[in-house]
Amino acid sequence: MARIKYAPTILLLCILCLSCNLNSGGANSASAPKTSQKNADENFDVFFSRFKTDSVFQKSRIRFPLKIKLTAGEGDIDSTNLIPAGSLPYINLFTVNGAKRIVKKTVLSPVKVDVLFQLQDNGFEENFTFVKKAGQWNLVLIVDESD
């Protein structure tokens, strides 16, 4: 009879001990390094796939003010503009349908990648420079080399 009387109390104490053990160590502390490790090892191709299709993600991964360099022809002077966050629309170039486009990725270093975007037969050419900082890729520079 004494065993049955204390059974609910013992069961409750066991549940509390197990839940405290799970919350204090195992699940949460094991997942925290995975999150930071994921950021440290962010793959550029996975990032870029999302960057070119998700407008909210894209805005979060542009380092503002964004530097945009306009290259001039021979004898002309190049110009550089700084674009604040509110002035830059969604960059929808990479998903242009129907146009003959060329997208070429050049890995300059483990933390720097250039993506060249061209539209054939019209002289449009822009180079996007991405830099990996604190484990995340960010767009830091656009160079417009269009004719």
Structure confidence by residue, pLDDT tens digits, 80-130 = 999 999 899 988 877 766 667 888 999 999 999 999 999 888 888 999 999
CATH number at residue 56: 3.10.450.410
CA dist 127 and 118 (Å) reads 9
The pLDDT of residue 51: 95
**Domain with 92 in it:** 44-144
CA dist 96 and 65 (Å) reads 25
Q: Are residues 104 and 37 in the same domain?
A: no
The three-class DSSP label of residue 142 is strand
Q: Mean pLDDT lowest for which of 29-38, 57-66, 92-101, 131-140?
A: 29-38
Question: What average pLDDT does the segment 32-57 reach?
Answer: 77
Tokens 């069961």 -> residue: 11
Q: Are residues 49 and 92 in the same domain?
A: yes
Q: Which of 65, 115, 58 is nearest to 89 (CA)?
A: 58
Rg over CA atoms, the chain: 26
